[in-house]
Amino acid sequence: MALSLSVRRDEPETVSGDALFQFLFEGETDLPAALSGADTRLNGAISELLSSGEAKGKLHEATTLHTSGALPTRRLLLLGAGKRDDLTPDRVSRLFGQAVRIANRKGWTTLIAGISTLSALPDAGSELLRAAVSGALVGMGRGDLYKTQEVKPDALETLILSGPNSDAWQADVDAGVTLGEAINFARELVTRPAADLTPTILAERARALGEEMGFETTILDKAALEEMGAGALLAVARGSVQEPRMIRLRYGAFPGKPTLGIVGKGITFDSGGLCIKNADNMLDMKTDMSGAAATLGAMKVIGALRPEVNVVAVCPITENMTGAAAYKPGDVVTALNGKTIEILNTDAEGRVVLADALTYAQQSGATHLVDLATLTGACVIALGHSCTGVMGGPQEWVERVIAAGNASGEPMWQLPLMDEYKEQIKSDIADVENSGGRPAGAQTGALLLREFVDDAIPWAHLDIAGTASASADTKYRAKGATGVGVRSLVRLAETMATDSPE
């Protein structure tokens, strides 16, 4: 059951429900203005918590007070928000995710959130409200799509955003709903097992999205890929009985505006090919299409919010399997732009399919490029699971992409693309090799992609291998797919919409 959201003009402490949710800030012993009414009704109970130090406002600290009839809600949930100056959109998103997860776990059906604190912050209220709503929806997202037994239905049915100045909130709430639903859409795609999300099925999901949003939609099948000469994608696809697809969604017709090209890796299952993975490493390889999922999720938001920027999204979709026709170590494949790639390792397939997708995005008019891919274990070793690796150029474009990610709560860190690394992917018999070995593995993967990007086009590669999935529940989100990239891409598109026409 989907979480229902509504906006009320009333003071939050006058609204009925199971619990009222408010923030406490670390280091502030004075009662926040947003809690003065509730504190009066509770005979100073909140003030006493603060003065005694029992509630410190530390980030994610949760305190529940029973109101005993003093408020229309039976409980007051106080969440520590950390320092007031550190109240970023990402933090708000996570706190609202935590609040709905607490409510749902405790069996509450209606949660009231007093958000005057957010809307009153200068120059940030709109963004914080959007983050709050999207975070609540992500917090309610579940990964148990296939459970048939011992499935506990969601208890929380309604989140009410309440405050006397709520008239101006609706647009931000609607945008937050759109963003939260799109992130959960991407998470759901990644969660689906490969048998239920073949290249054909994923392409049809993209087609349905395109029709819903009014995009110009192109789905290239195997015959069309053969005719256009997409030899790199076709080579990877040879080992599977599932035919490949290339997805293209086009939004916008704004003369003089840039065209953002978003390219998402879509390996719906990666066995490693003939350089086969071991069983443990293969288990999660249904998630190797996380880049494509994020791309489609971002397009869902872009189509709804309609920023004044042109966007073309391209996703190469295939399995990487070990069938009799599978491509082999030592093969040389010819990519869409005519460059040849010597295959040293069939498990380095993501960069091979992205080569054709990057070319196709440029042929489709992209003036700026971002690609997202669960590309390398090396990036996981370098940055872990909390930060996405970024490589590309020129520097101004890379910094702009990183800024969009950091502002969206999806931290990014730039890794160097030194020319010396390029020596590792030189081939004796072809233009490039598809694997540079273990040293600087994230960078050599990115350098191969750079071979398929025109020097005049700004390009950033996001290696989301470490950030696309979470192995454990957090206070604000269920374990599994994270939907990483959706927020960053949407923010990037929105900032590009403000650029002056060329």
Two tokens, residue 384? 């872990």
Query: With 0-12 CB in 10 A as exposed, 13-18 as middle and 19+ as buried, what is 322?
Result: middle
Q: What angle do CA 436, 226, 251 make, to 5 degrees?
A: 85
- Is residue 270 within 8 A of residue 285, CB to CB? The reply is yes
Please tell me whether residue 424 adopts helix, strand or coil conformation.
helix
Q: What angle do CA 175, 180, 184 make, to 5 degrees?
A: 150
Two tokens, residue 96? 């609202």
User: What's the CA gap between 312 and 301, in Å, rounded?
Assistant: 14
Instruction: Please enumerate in sequence order all residues whose Cβ is within 8 A of that of 24, keeping only pairs 6 or more positions apart, or say none.
Output: 32, 50, 55, 56, 57, 61, 63, 78, 79, 80, 81
End-to-end CA distance of the chain: 46
Per DSSP, 501 falls in state P
Helix (H) or strand (E) holding 127: helix 125-140
Please tell me whether residue 305 adopts helix, strand or coil conformation.
helix
- Is residue 52 within 8 A of residue 92, CB to CB? The reply is no
Q: Is the peptide bond before 416 cis (omega within 30 degrees of 0)?
A: no
**Which has the closest alpha carbon to 356: 451, 489, 282?**
451
Angle between helices 290-305 and 170-191 (to 10 degrees): 160
Catalytic residues: 277, 351
**Which has the closest alpha carbon to 320: 288, 295, 291, 358?**
288
Q: What angle do CA 354, 389, 247 make, to 5 degrees?
A: 25
Instruction: Please enumerate in sequence order all residues whose Cβ is within 8 A of that of 395, keeping only pairs 6 or more positions apart, or say none.
Output: none
User: What's the CA gap between 194 and 201, in Å, rounded?
Assistant: 10
Please tell me whether residue 58 adopts helix, strand or coil conformation.
coil
Strands (E), 244-328: 245-251, 259-264, 266-270, 310-320
The residues that bridge with 312 in the sheet, in sequence order, are 250, 261
379-408 burial by CB neighbour count: b if 16+ within 10 A, else e? bbebbeeebbbbbbbeeebbebbbebbbbb
